[in-house]
Amino acid sequence: TDGFLEAFSPADRPFGEARVLDLIRANRSRSASDMVESLQRAVRDFTHRDAPQDDLTAVVIKVLDADS
């Protein structure tokens, strides 16, 4: 959801698409649930809040090799 993109830091900077994409790339070898957890943790750390101001819903679809 846009809750990831539109989460704001205390300095009023948005988390933004680039950070989301960087986190997805950095965690792509991890499980889908670990990837979502990493995204949620990163937003909490960025905003300095324990609870988000907006919903943080993500669906991760992993494409596996035929040999996997």
Q: Are 9 and 48 in contact (CB under 8 A)?
A: yes
Does pTM surpass 0.85?
A: no
Token output for 14: 């948005």
- Give me the half-sphere count of Cα atoms (radius 13 Å) on the Cβ side of residue 58: 22
pLDDT above 90: percentage of residues in the chain: 68
Q: Which two tokens stand for residue 61?
A: 């679809």
Domain boundaries, the chain: 1-68
Residues 6+ apart with CB under 8 A from 27: 34, 35, 38
Confidence of residue 18 (pLDDT cuts 50, 70, 90): very high
